[in-house]
Amino acid sequence: MIVSSIKKYAFILLLFVFGFSHAQGVIDETLKKELDGIYKSDQILREYIDSETTDSRKAQILNETGYSRDDLTDSKVYKIMNNQDSINLIRIEKIIAKYGYPGKTLVGEPTNEAAWYVIQHSKKIADYFPMIQEAGASNEIPFTKVAMMHDRMLMQEGKEQVYGTQVSGENVLNVTTGQKEFWYYVWPVQHPESVNELRKEAGFTTTVEENAKRLGVEYKHYTLAEIKKITGKE
């Protein structure tokens, strides 16, 4: 009788565990593998040109990708990246058409950010931003990713960003030398007096100044009008 009861409760427990795990969702390993590959192809050359990437890591990247140093000079690497970004976007759009946004429930972490990176590096942010907002609201991706995409969308639209996550660059005239030089700056922020509070509320762990420094830029607040004047686009 006791043995029978134990078996009964063990069976009930097994059903509970199975039901719980099923309710939590099962990771699609095939899709996860595909997205991990897309993420790597999105990031690997960006890692190569990152100023913080060591020479030994750059050598590893050259070995992994089959490129030479001459292949990845400044004049060539961005063309390669843009081409790969276009290929990745086609693949991601097919995945989204079939599954919706491939978030944490479907592919786990950090693979849930792969599609986000591809969209972030495309010209279709405005098309997909509502879906990204929904993914953030349902905890399928971190809200910081929603905030970063929001900032980039606003920048692409020529509007002030909210969280100060985006930098831009222009060829501007150096009045001292009379030569044009490439100038990086933090894209204008809507509310510079409260941007760090907004960043904290969104989940960022750095200030706008610290983030700019990480990106190799000294933070200074500019208005849109000032940027237009400096870049000669008035």
What's the pLDDT score for residue 22?
A: 40
Dist CA 19 CA 13 (whole Å):
10
Domain boundaries in the chain?
28-141, 157-234
Q: In this structure, what token pair is assigned to residue 14?
A: 């097994």
- What is the phi/psi pair of residue 154, to 5°? -60, -40
| Distance from the first to the final alpha carbon of the chain | 88
Dist CA 217 CA 212 (whole Å):
5
pTM of the model: 0.86
What's the pLDDT score for residue 24?
A: 53
Helix axes 74-99 and 29-49, enclosed angle (nearest 10): 160
pLDDT digit string (tens) for 40-87? 999 999 999 998 899 999 999 999 999 999 999 988 999 999 999 999
Lowest-pLDDT choice from 17-21, 43-47, 167-171, 187-191: 17-21
Dist CA 36 CA 42 (whole Å):
10
pLDDT digit string (tens) for 221-233? 999 999 999 988 8
- What is the phi/psi pair of residue 161, to 5°? -85, 165
Is the pLDDT at 15 greater than 80? The verdict is no
pLDDT digit string (tens) for 135-151? 999 999 999 999 999 99
Q: In this structure, what token pair is assigned to residue 206?
A: 């750095």
Is the pLDDT at 19 greater than 50? The verdict is no
Cross-strand partners of 173? 180
Dist CA 197 CA 40 (whole Å):
33
Cis peptide before 142 (omega within 30 of 0): no
Dist CA 152 CA 117 (whole Å):
12
Is 24 strand, coil or helix? helix
Which one-letter DSSP state was computed for residue 162? S
Contact of 114 with 96, CB cutoff 8 Å: no
